[in-house]
Amino acid sequence: MKANKNFYKIEQNYLFAEVAERTAKYSHEHPEAEIIKMGIGDVTLPLCEAVTDAMHKAVSEMGVRETFKGYGEYRGYDFLCESICGYYKGFGVDLETEEVFVSEGAKTDLGNILDLFDSDNTVLVTDPVYPVYVDTNILAGRKIVYADATEGNDFLPMPDYAVDADIIYLCSPNNPTGAAYTRAQLKEWVDYALAKKAVILLDSAYEAFITDPDVPHTAYEVEDAKKCVIEICSLSKTAGFTGTRCGYTIVPKELHFDENLNKLWLRRQSTKFNGVSYIVQCGANAVFTPKGQKGVRENIAYYQENAKIMMTALDECGIKYFGGKNSPYIWLRCPGGLGSWEFFDKLLEEANVVGTPGEGFGKNGKGYIRLTSFSTHENTEEAMRRLKKMLGK
């Protein structure tokens, strides 16, 4: 045998490993320092009661002969697919249950979906970028081209018809920049994709954080999007499922260039996947009930309050930033013209606050740092107090 040597081409884990290493070293040398971590992209609030109640009930059902469940549908249980369709209906979008595929999370499907495409395809990603899009395609040996996301375009690159692409990754609201496309901007991407006969893979992990009415909650609010967009969604950030694991992917039946991708994806899933646990799907289903929606909205509002605390402090410091409004991420330009790692070190040493250096997400991230709102109010306030003190504000 010969191993896949493409593994040597990915720079995987360098960023978070380096952040952890520098933090651990500082902590070891300064054991008294109370370090506040605002770098990690993981939620902190627990699952809401509607979800845990539903999962407790499902566990009990699994222990009784009459209600025990074996293998489920490859696509996911009808009850959950119907609830997801109902959620989309709330945005004025009609989906058939056969267009919904329940997954164990977005990252899994972002990698797996590539089974549908020829390795000759050219992939378009933005820079800075969520590293999963790049690494999964490097492993498959695909050519990757980059669209620059910079302050010049508010970190929202628009299509360039001089560039040819077959597979386009968009993440809106964006990780790491927090920028989000409006309906009109997304329509331009849809038009470009149709002109190039390309598919858009839209990562909607942060959909639930949208507050701007011009930003669509789903690409299918945009005309013709069903002809070219696969939407990859997750309950991780929406409902705190990072450790529970559940998401869903929408593959419209109208998405048909040379093959019907909905049929192909069902075939792929039935070949390599045996579904998500019944217990988890019951928990996921509870997210879409009125009680579940109330619970998850409360948690999201808590994080949004943190984002507000951060934005107010950054305004007071005169620091330029992006995101925060439709996203749990704040992407700020390092003050004083410092580089990402220089400011990371300064923030760690002088404020005992940990961020994520922007250049870890691509060359255009140089000079930026990402902070997250997935913390407590107390820690967020304290971190901002220290930042202001550090900058003499």
Contact (CB, 8 A) for 335 and 391: yes
Comparing CB distances to ligand PLP, the nearer of 41 and 365 is 41
Contact between 236 and ligand PLP per CB under 6 A:
yes
* Minimum distance from residue 350 beta carbon to ligand PLP (Å): 28
Site string for ligand PLP, 215-234 (x = CB under 6 A): -------------------x
Contact between 295 and ligand PLP per CB under 6 A:
no
End-to-end CA gap in the chain: 61
Contact between 326 and ligand PLP per CB under 6 A:
no
Burial class (CB within 10 angstroms; exposed 0-12, middle 13-18, buried 19+) of 321: buried
Size of the site for ligand PLP (CB under 6 A): 14
Cα gap 289→246, rounded to integer Å: 16
Name residues whose C-beta falls within 8 Å of residue 388's C-beta, 6 or more positions apart in sequence: 313, 316, 317
Contact between 175 and ligand PLP per CB under 6 A:
yes
Contact between 237 and ligand PLP per CB under 6 A:
yes
Q: Which H helix or E strand runs over 294? A: helix 290-317
Backbone angles phi, psi at 231, to 5 degrees: -105, 125
Cα gap 46→55, rounded to integer Å: 14
Q: In 72-83, which positions are buried (b, 16+ CB within 10 angstroms) versus exposed (e)?
A: bbbbbbeebbeb
* Minimum distance from residue 110 beta carbon to ligand PLP (Å): 7
Contact between 106 and ligand PLP per CB under 6 A:
yes
Which residue among 203, 207, 231, 359 contacts ligand PLP (CB under 6 A)? 203
Contact between 129 and ligand PLP per CB under 6 A:
no
* Minimum distance from residue 314 beta carbon to ligand PLP (Å): 21
Contact between 105 and ligand PLP per CB under 6 A:
yes
Cα gap 125→142, rounded to integer Å: 12
Q: Among residue numbers 241 through 270, which ones bind ligand PLP (CB under 6 A)? A: 242, 247
* Minimum distance from residue 41 beta carbon to ligand PLP (Å): 5
Residues at the contact surface with ligand PLP, assessed by CB under 6 A: 41, 105-107, 130, 171, 175, 203, 205, 234, 236-237, 242, 247
